[in-house]
Structure 1
Amino acid sequence: MKNEMPKIPNSNHKLLKKGTKLVLSAATFGVVAAGSFQGVNYVVDNYNKQNTTVQSTNVLKTSSSTTSNVSAVAQNCMPSIVSITNVSVSDVQNYFSMYGNNSRSNPFTQQENTSVGSGVIINKKNGEIDILTNYHVIENAKTLTCTLADNTNVEATVKGVDENRDLAVISIKTKDLSEDTLKQIAIATIGDSDKLQVGEQVVAIGNALGYGQSVTTGIVSATNRSVSTSSDTDKSQSYIQTDAAINPGNSGGALLNMSGELIGINSAKLSDTDVEGMGYAIAISDVKDSIDTMLQGKDVSTSCNTPSSSYYQQNDEDHESDSVFPFDFWN
């Protein structure tokens, strides 16, 4: 295999050699009917819900048993992980409009698309619960639905994005959740990814293939692994490389140390017939400033003072029709 730097493509670029791709791990499914998600019943008044305490995950003291360690991390941290469903609308070529009486009609027709990913609860404040995920998980969303630990579905809104680092913060309202649901979820404990050692065991949790939360484990294969994040090779980002299985749908999910602390956001994997166990996660310590900005309801850009809503107003019509999902879905 060639020793050139792999790239995360904005479209279907070939990588390393024919068939090798760095896949942003969100799973894309077909068209779904609108209204497939049920609303959440209101159980208590909004004031009580805003003041309900959401627990935090615990910092664990692990035993000598690897199996029991992973099980303890999973049990402790899964309440902080959510599944995210993105319903978007894209323009697709209407070939029938090119012929006969339809030749002057609109050459494009709209198609509804659904993709799934993961997210991590990182904050609760002012009646909102904030969830960290990848930007490519929520990009171009018409609606976003989060499925919580107790299988409650609730609509989410975008709070802030950092497109260059492939990160986003979305939020849900505590008033839309029952008292029981608020007791079932948890806020992730943020760790220090700068302290990671190569060979250290880690756990990945996410919505693999859209089946619901699943747990995989592996080791830190490398730290500070520089990977180009676009077709522009001058733009690169540092990742944690792991051999824990990172599959479509895992994007935005948690990479955890054996103390149950969030040390990375799972984002991509290298896919090739000759490649095994090369997954990539964004190191949490590298993006703390970005997260703080997004939690304030701002986008991260050259000017960090642009409210997140203006980003979508300015760019909603600028995306090319084939960029709704700027990643490959690798089966």
Structure 2
Amino acid sequence: MEDYNQNNINQYSQNPDNNNNRDSYEYNKPEYSFWAEKVSGPPVYDYVQYQHNPRPEQVSKKKNRIGRIFAFLFKAAVFGIIAGVAFVGVSYLYYRLNPDAFANNESYILGSTDDESFSENKLKVGNTKHGSVKNIPESSVMKVAEETMPSIVSITSISTSRDIWFGVEYPREGSGSGIIVGKDEKELLIATNNHVVDGTDKITVTFIDDSQAEAVIKGTDSMADLAVITVNLEDIEQSTIDAIKIAKLGNSDNIKVGEMAIAIGNAMGYGQSLTVGYVSAKDRKIDISDNGRYTTMVLLQTDAAINPGNSGGALLNINGEVIGINTVKFADYKVEGMGYAIPISRAIPIINDLMSREVLKPEEQGFLGVGPQDVTEEISEMFGIPIGVYISTVVEGSAADKAGLKVGDVIQYINDTEITSGIQLRELISSIRAGTDIEVVYMRHVNGEYKRQTVTVTLGSREDNQ
């Protein structure tokens, strides 16, 4: 707790009558508490002067009882006479003022219902009709949960860890979530976070009906923290295929701060759960640490609870559309309700690219033949180099060498995919089969300035350059 008295010692004016107690009061100001409200100072006693009040003489109980009975009867009789006179008087005045009322057999209180045509305009008294209560069987959030949970999966991963002291390897289990984003004739495609499946030996997917199937990684993008895994349709029961759905992807660019947000995922590895909050902010730049390496990501912020295991799950709007992929939570005991998700509009192009990748053996993977160095925003501002991947070395006789790429060039795009790190470049090239032509957009320093250039490169294989 902060000490609020530290900077406010002289905020009270001096009182010459209390000079002896001033210093003690200034350094021991009272704090509000329940006990302070109950006990404040020495006890004060109130003294009341005693007066002798003589008791009245007692009257016979029998005499008082008879008097009260006669008084009650007299009051009742008077009330009845007054009420009768008032009723007769009001009736007399009504018929004097409305001579036709007696002929129409009309009552001045409710009116007559003998004549139907006349009584339609009169006040009628009858039984109330049976009403109907409209029951709402489900709320909007319940409807979203019912429609979208079949498109969310739980992911369990097994990876191998090594003991730092004894070097013993042991299996380690992790949990995450995924979103079903596509299906073709052979496989089911699931989007998740890269950190959920990175370095795993085995991936198991649990569907809405609790059935399980093994999955393999189809493509990853570590910089975007996105991955696509696939499940062979032959490994899925027909009842499960009928139960699952493909998620509806929305547009995160159109959402507004304050809109309701619904997070669904495998929180703490216990299975699917749902939390509700709001979109707290858009386009938040967050520096995320991954094994000592910091990456800047532009994310959606929400106060919907995002816990371990929610990573890779869906952040939805009230229409049941995916607006983000849950990825990280700000973990600090001072902070509550700051979760982040990858905007789906930014993720869709990357997911589409990952979905189209082949699962290749090492000898089938493409090889470019460059030594990459990341050019971040800070480095770009400091040295005036365009953001991208700086080529520090070129392997002689490699695909890059044959295409004319040189040391000092900065690669920015591969087949319309923006390249921002060497890891991303390596993952992308490894996902393309050797012998495939790719389009490389790069910046070259010419006559004191960087100019944009494009070249077509035919990828080789790593075996060709060993």
Given the alignment of the two structures, is residue 90 of structure 1 paired with residue 161 of structure 2, yes or no? yes
Larger RCO (alpha carbons 8 Å, 6+ apart): 1
The answer for the alignment partner of 1:203 in structure 2 is 262
The answer for the alignment partner of 1:297 in structure 2 is 357
How far is 1:308 from its partner?
7.8
Provide the rounded CA distance (Å) in 1 between the counterparts of 2:297 and 2:429.
23
How far is 1:232 from its partner?
5.1
Given the alignment of the two structures, is residue 152 of structure 1 paired with residue 211 of structure 2, yes or no? yes
The answer for the alignment partner of 1:249 in structure 2 is 309
Provide the rounded CA distance (Å) in 1 between the counterparts of 2:336 and 2:201.
35
Determine which of 319, 326, 329 is the counterpart of 1:269: 329
Q: Which has the larger radius of gyration?
A: 2
How far is 1:305 from its partner?
3.9
Gaps of 5+ in 1: 1-64, 96-107, 315-331
1:119–1:131 contact (8 Å) kept in structure 2:
yes
How far is 1:309 from its partner?
10
Determine which of 262, 269, 279 is the counterpart of 2:339: 279
Equivalences, count: 233
CA gap of 1:249–1:308, structure 2 versus 1, over 3 A, is farther
| 2:430 aligned partner, one-letter code | T
| 1:144 aligned partner, one-letter code | I
User: What per-residue deviation string (whole Å, max 9, x for no partner) do you get for residues 198-219 of structure 1?
Assistant: 0000100000011110000100
Given the alignment of the two structures, is residue 307 of structure 1 paired with residue 366 of structure 2, yes or no? no
Alignment of 1:99-118 (within 5 A): 108-118=167-177
Provide the rounded CA distance (Å) in 1 between the counterparts of 2:163 and 2:432.
27
Between Structure 1 and Structure 2, which shows a larger proportion of helix residues? 2
1:161–1:298 contact (8 Å) kept in structure 2:
no
1:220–1:240 contact (8 Å) kept in structure 2:
yes
Please, what TM-score do these two structures have when normalized by structure 1?
0.67
The answer for the alignment partner of 2:281 in structure 1 is 222
1:298–1:306 contact (8 Å) kept in structure 2:
no
User: What per-residue deviation string (whole Å, max 9, x for no partner) do you get for residues 33-77 of structure 1?
Assistant: xxxxxxxxxxxxxxxxxxxxxxxxxxxxxxxx9x71111111100
1:201–1:258 contact (8 Å) kept in structure 2:
yes
| 1:269 aligned partner, one-letter code | K
1:160–1:308 contact (8 Å) kept in structure 2:
no
1:267–1:280 contact (8 Å) kept in structure 2:
yes
User: What per-residue deviation string (whole Å, max 9, x for no partner) do you get for residues 243-296 of structure 1?
Assistant: 000011100000001110011000111122221100000001012221111001
Given the alignment of the two structures, is residue 168 of structure 1 paired with residue 235 of structure 2, yes or no? no
Q: Pairwise CA RMSD of aligned residues? A: 2.1
| 2:425 aligned partner, one-letter code | T
Provide the rounded CA distance (Å) in 2 between the counterparts of 1:239 and 1:302.
22
How far is 1:94 from its partner?
4.2
Provide the rounded CA distance (Å) in 1 between the counterparts of 2:193 and 2:274.
19
Query: SS of the residue aligned with 2:139?
Result: helix
User: What per-residue deviation string (whole Å, max 9, x for no partner) do you get for residues 122-174 of structure 1?
Assistant: 00013100000001100111100000010001000000000011110000011
Query: SS of the residue aligned with 1:175?
Result: helix
| 2:283 aligned partner, one-letter code | N
Determine which of 139, 143, 146 is the counterpart of 1:72: 143
1:298–1:305 contact (8 Å) kept in structure 2:
no
CA gap of 1:169–1:202, structure 2 versus 1, over 3 A, is same
Query: SS of the residue aligned with 2:242?
Result: helix
The answer for the alignment partner of 1:137 in structure 2 is 196
Provide the rounded CA distance (Å) in 2 between the counterparts of 1:238 and 1:161.
18
Deviates more, 1:301-310 or 1:262-271: 301-310
CA gap of 1:298–1:281, structure 2 versus 1, over 3 A, is farther
How far is 1:306 from its partner?
2.3
Deviates more, 1:286-295 or 1:167-176: 286-295
Query: SS of the residue aligned with 1:187?
Result: coil
CA gap of 1:307–1:232, structure 2 versus 1, over 3 A, is closer
Query: SS of the residue aligned with 2:335?
Result: coil
CA gap of 1:167–1:267, structure 2 versus 1, over 3 A, is same
1:158–1:308 contact (8 Å) kept in structure 2:
no
Give runs of ≥4 in structure 1 deviating > 4 Å: none
